[in-house]
A and B are shown apart, each in its own frame.
Chain A
Amino acid sequence: MSSLLGQAAGVVILLVLGYLFGRLAERRHFQRLVRQEAEIQYLPVVASRYPPEDRPYRQQLVSGNVVIASDYFKAFMAALINIFGGRVTPFESMLDRARRESILRMKAAAIELDAAYVFNIKFDTTRIATGRLGAMEVLAYGTAMIPQDT
């Protein structure tokens, strides 16, 4: 019985820690994302494969990637949602953060090159196994259009 209670206590502690720290990290991350997105909003990121031809541009691949880990609470919730089906909400917000962060990092790389646009942006995502808890890599990449006359 004591092993059962010990196991239950361990689960509760991990869930509480996962919930508190996971939520704190997520809230801070979203706040930073909103702030930084506003700061570098001036650089357009375009999904189109057809770049503008108004003037000569040098083209260069830019990318930004991020790895975000889930926490015990998210993993626990996701496992239970797997039973009943439905939106895996704990991972939706995690992936949203990862996508937005990767765009920000890609844009930062493009700004370094004095690019005017990033074209043909694409995402790649990979699950990274870190024990039982999942981590997710999101890579955003695109073609930085750097005006030749600058």
Chain B
Amino acid sequence: MEYENRLPPEGINTSRQHPLKQFLQLVIGALVLVVMIVAMLQVSGSFLARKIPFSYELAVMQRLNIPLGDARRHADMTAYLNGLASRVGAHMAMPEDMQLTVHYDDDEVFNAFATVGGNLLFYRGLLSRMPDENTLAMVMAHEIAHVLHRDPVAALGGGVASTIALLALTGNSGTGMAGQLLNNAGMLTSIQFTRRMEVAADRAALAAVNGLYGHVNGAARLFELFRDGRDPHSQDKEPGVLERFVSTHPLDAERISNISRLAVAEHWQQQGELTPLPADFKRWLER
């Protein structure tokens, strides 16, 4: 018997398509897919989550009993904040079953947030920089507006749905950097939705502040504080398109100009007497 070797045929196991062309097709396809899936799930997830009765949301949070702040150690501050929430809430067409509970945390975090079950958490870092009650009322009204719009539960619903989808798509261990890229794309898509919630909350908050004090003086001061608190050197810098795109909240400068535009459109007074914070406010802030 004769045996002979033939040289292996070339081109069977190599693709004729240029790898960069295929790479571009794949990256664009995957990004479009992720953006579409996340956008769809954000819309449908938050839509469905908003259908959950507030009483159920409240019951779940009570059962979970997640500790927020320390009401016993900071009884005076907690009482004051809850009182302010009631006064602000009175101007916000709250449904009867909607309860608000304000908590105080003495961490130096420059923030406040609303979460499910009508819980609002204010940090010492934010409160210690409040110049007057009007500014504080604007924060309070903004967070109450989130509760009123059911934003925490909507964000949770949309967020959970899109996170699960992204995990299914990129969660297996082999995806590596590509998985990270797609997760970031999904996160950026989600952010576009939370930013809309912020704009709506600002609007409702401004109306409530106007209802409470008869003017909106002090409201814009809040975002000036935020701007200064975030980066004291960036005040004069024009924010780039990229910064706008990756920010969870509208840019502070935009919010300040939106407030004055809204005040003009609604004929709200932009000047008025500022209400001072209670005399003991500084003492309440002490640890």
Contacts and interface: CB of A to CB of B under 8 A. Distances in A.
Interface of A: 1, 4-5, 7-8, 11, 14-15, 19, 23, 34, 37-38, 41-46, 52, 54, 72-73, 75-84, 87, 89-90, 92-93, 95-96, 100, 117, 132-134
B62 interface: no
Given A11-B177, A79-B179, A44 B19 contact: no
B7 A37 contact: yes
Contacts of B178: 75-76, 79-80
B271 interface: no
B275 interface: no
Interface stretch (B26-34, B69-77, B84-92, B253-261): B26-34
A85 to B, nearest CB: 11
25 contacts: A7-B180, A8-B181, A8-B184, A14-B177, A15-B177, A37-B8, A42-B5, A44-B3, A44-B4, A72-B177, A75-B176, A76-B23, A76-B177, A78-B174, A79-B176, A79-B179, A80-B29, A82-B172, A82-B175, A83-B169, A89-B14, A89-B22, A92-B13, A96-B12, A96-B13
A95 B177 contact: no
B65 interface: no
Contacts of A41: 5, 7
A89 B104 CA distance: 57
Contact of A43 (B5, B23, B30): B5
A11 B181 CA distance: 8
A7 B184 contact: yes
A42 B5 CA distance: 7
Contacts of B177: 11, 14-15, 72, 75-76, 79, 132
Given A37-B8, A38-B7, A77-B22, A92 B175 contact: no
Nearest to B26: A80
Please give me the 7 A-B residue pairs with the lowest Cβ-Cβ distance, nearest first. Answer: A96-B13, A79-B178, A89-B15, A44-B3, A80-B26, A79-B175, A132-B176
